[in-house]
Amino acid sequence: MHIDGWTILLQAVNFLILVWLLRRFLYRPVLAVIAERQAVTEQVRTEAEAARQAAETARRDLEAQRTALPAERDRLIAAARAEAEAERTALLEKARTEADRALEESRGRLAEEREQALAALRRQAAELGAALAARLLRDAPADVLTRPLLDEALAAVEGLSDARRHALANGVAPVPVHVVAANSLPAEDATRAGDRLAAALGRPVALDVVEDSSLIAGVELHFAHSVVRRSWKQTLAEAKEEMTRHDSARVDADAVA
């Protein structure tokens, strides 16, 4: 057996050359392509991972929104209910206020109409009473009713102060006195009236007697500037006025109360 050293050397060199050749023509380009593909794959994987992360984020956001939806819905419903309740309360309060106001107005109007009706009824009652009294007095004997009233009128003149009586005389003599009577005065009554007036005024008197049935009963003494009335006409008018005035005062008192 013979071992050739040259062959060993040549084969070793051949192998090293083959290493260099394959490194140049095989390993380097193939590894470069593999590395490039891995880089591309890694990039795609990174992009896919980023897309997956984005999708996961979007899914979580949607999940969070979906989870928050019932709470948001409940909150909105509660807010809407509260708003509706407030609006309903406001409307009820407004309606109640308007109803109270309308009721108050109606009550006031009814009270006013009632008072007006009552006042009208009272007026009518007073007028009816006055008419009834006038009708009843008209049937009574006039001289019986007129005489006391004549005496009363004369007594009123006599009861005046001196200055008032002097004013009634007005500085003339005889003093003109226009006597309006409900019925024709008897002569003795006219004389007695003239005498008492002359005595009261301190000077002679010129009586002018006139009949006026509208007085019902009684007389009116007309001086130059004053009139002394004592008649049922006046009495009934005063009674009617007083009744009406009392009704007005009572109505005012009711209104104040």
Partner 1 sequence: MTGSPLTTPVVFLLGPVPVTLPVVVTWGLMAAMALGSALAARRLRVERPGPVQTVLELVVETLRRQIAETMQTDATPFLPLLGTLFLYLAIANLSGLVPGLKAPTASLETAAALALVVLLSSQALGIRRRGLWAYLKGFAHPTPLLLPLNLLSELTRAFSLSIRLFGNVMSGEFVIAIVLSLAGLFVPVPLMALELLLGLVQAYIFTVLAAVFIGGAVGTIERG
Question: Where does this chain bind partner 1 (CB under 8 A)?
Answer: 1-4, 6-12, 14-23, 25-27, 29-34, 36-37, 40
Q: E-assigned strands of the chain?
A: 175-181, 205-211, 218-222, 227-231
Nearer to partner 1, 25 or 68 (CB): 25
Residues 207, 175 contacting (CB under 8 angstroms): no
Comparison of 28 and 138: residue with beta carbon closer to partner 1: 28
Burial class (CB in 10 A: 0-12, 13-18, 19+), 184: middle
Cβ proximity to partner 1, 22 vs 64, nearer residue: 22
* CA–CA gap between residue 57 and residue 32 (Å, rounded): 36
- In angstroms, rounded to a whole number, what is the distance separating the alpha carbons of residues 190 and 183? 12
**Least spacing, CB of residue 30 vs partner 1, in Å:** 5
For partner 1, the closer of residues 3 and 71 by Cβ is: 3
DSSP state of 191: H
Q: What is the Cα–Cα distance from 192 to 196, expressed in whole angstroms?
A: 6
Q: Least Å distance between CB 19 and partner 1?
A: 5
Q: How far is the CB of 36 from partner 1 (least distance, A)?
A: 5
DSSP states of 95-123 as a string? HHHHHHHHHHHHHHHHHHHHHHHHHHHHH
- The whole-angstrom separation of Cα 72 and Cα 255 is 59
**Minimal distance, residue 45 CB to partner 1, in Å:** 15
Residue 44 Cβ, how far from partner 1 at the closest point, in Å? 11
Q: How far is the CB of 50 from partner 1 (least distance, A)?
A: 21
Pick between residue 6 and residue 71 the one whose CB is nearest to partner 1: 6
Of 4 and 139, which CB lies nearer to partner 1 in the complex structure?
A: 4
* Residue (of 115, 117, 104) closest to 251 by Cα position: 115
CA distances from 97 to 91, 117, 198 (A): 10, 29, 74
First to last CA, the chain: 155
